[in-house]
Amino acid sequence: MLSKFIGCMLSAALGDALGASFYRPRDGTLCYTDDTAMMIVLAETIIECEGEIDPERLAWKFVEAYEREPWRGYGPGPPRIFRLIKRGEGLLELDKRLYPGGSYGNGGAMRIAPVGLFYHDDLGRLREAVEKACKPTHNHPLAVEGALIEAATIAYAVKLDYDKPANAVELVEKLIDLGLSAVYRKKLEIIPQLLEIDASRRIVVRQLGNSVEAYNSVPTAIYCYLRGQEPMNTIRYAISLGGDRDTIACMAGAIAGAHRGVEKIPAEYLDRLENRGRIESLARSLYELKRRLEKG
């Protein structure tokens, strides 16, 4: 289980970095984007709050992370939200001032891996944690639902035997049981068919999407995982689809890493990953906190 926690977070960061092709030419370091930066903040918050998520604390930590590293590749929405927070105009659901009903981008889903890991054995708490984790920046129902689907898929992958393949039909049925909206249900239902016919990349993108909207990227990430099964196969295929490839590779990589564990990620990539030690330490701390709370 510890290997799965570490594998999930490192594979997410690796997918993000490789998808962005963001590296330091001088030493070849694979640098991650805002996807991983926000995942790190979320993991820190769960640990600091002893297994809970305080949305207001999380919002301030997002602001601090952005101000330290504004060059991470943030989309247009979060920095505007962070400026509103700094001006004292509130802490939560400020995206609703910028977009009708809130943002339905994949920013909530891209960072949700720690939630899928920590709450993998309690769907009710997982759902509640996802909603809290989205509060600072992504409150449109489709964004929250996308984050829930990603987190639930990670929870499913954590519980799989690491040496057995995932079953696409079984996973899709479990996700649909969450009570999904029509747009997600339709896309998830066609995933087994696309896998069966080994659909071309063009068809996959046309049917599932590859853009920044949560409903056009979360189902795609799940397809990439089911097609690749292991971290590097999954990440490479996700990147090959183009579009918002760093985030799709991040989400897909998180699932594959949760399934297969850190041992399945080649050292040649991990050794070049920026802040590998910090990410691994956070994953270990999440696991140890989970164990401690389970023991009472």
pLDDT at 296: 78
Asked whether the beta carbons of 144 and 39 are under 8 A apart, the reply is no
CA–CA distance, 55 with 195 (Å, rounded to integer)? 38
The pLDDT value recorded for residue 27 is: 77
Percent share of the chain, pLDDT over 70: 98
Stretch (H or E) spanning 19: helix 2-20
Residue with tokens 């009903």: 101
pLDDT at 25: 54
- Average of per-residue pLDDT values in the chain: 96
Instruction: Say what the alpha-carbon torsion angle 131, 135, 140, 145 is, to the nearest 10 degrees.
Output: -20
Q: How many domains does the chain have?
A: 1
Mean pLDDT to the nearest integer, 273-294: 97
Q: Is residue 229 within 8 Å of residue 256, measured between CB atoms?
A: yes
Residue type, 191: I
Model pLDDT for residues 20-69, shown as the tens digit of each residue: 975 555 578 999 999 999 999 999 999 999 999 999 999 999 999 999 99
Please tell me whether residue 160 adopts helix, strand or coil conformation: coil
Report whether pLDDT(90) > 90.
yes
CB-CB contact of 150 with 178 (8 Å): no
206-225: per-residue pLDDT in tens? 999 999 999 999 999 999 99
CATH at residue 17: 1.10.4080.10
Mean pLDDT across 121-146 = 97
Supply the pLDDT for residue 28.
84
Q: In the prediction, which pLDDT does 93 show?
A: 96
Nearest residue to 189 via CA among 207, 214, 166? 207
The predicted structure's pLDDT at residue 26: 58
pLDDT of residue 48: 97
CA–CA separation, 20 and 15 (whole Å): 8
Q: Is the dihedral of CA 266, 248, 240, 228 positive or negative?
A: positive
- Enclosing domain of residue 290: 2-295
Question: What pLDDT, on the 0 to 100 scale, is given for residue 116?
Answer: 98
From 157, 159, 146, select the one nearest 209 (Cα to Cα): 146
- What is the total residue count of the chain? 296
* pLDDT at residue 21, as a whole number: 79
Alpha-carbon gap, residue 239 to 68, rounded angstroms: 28
Model pTM above 0.95: yes
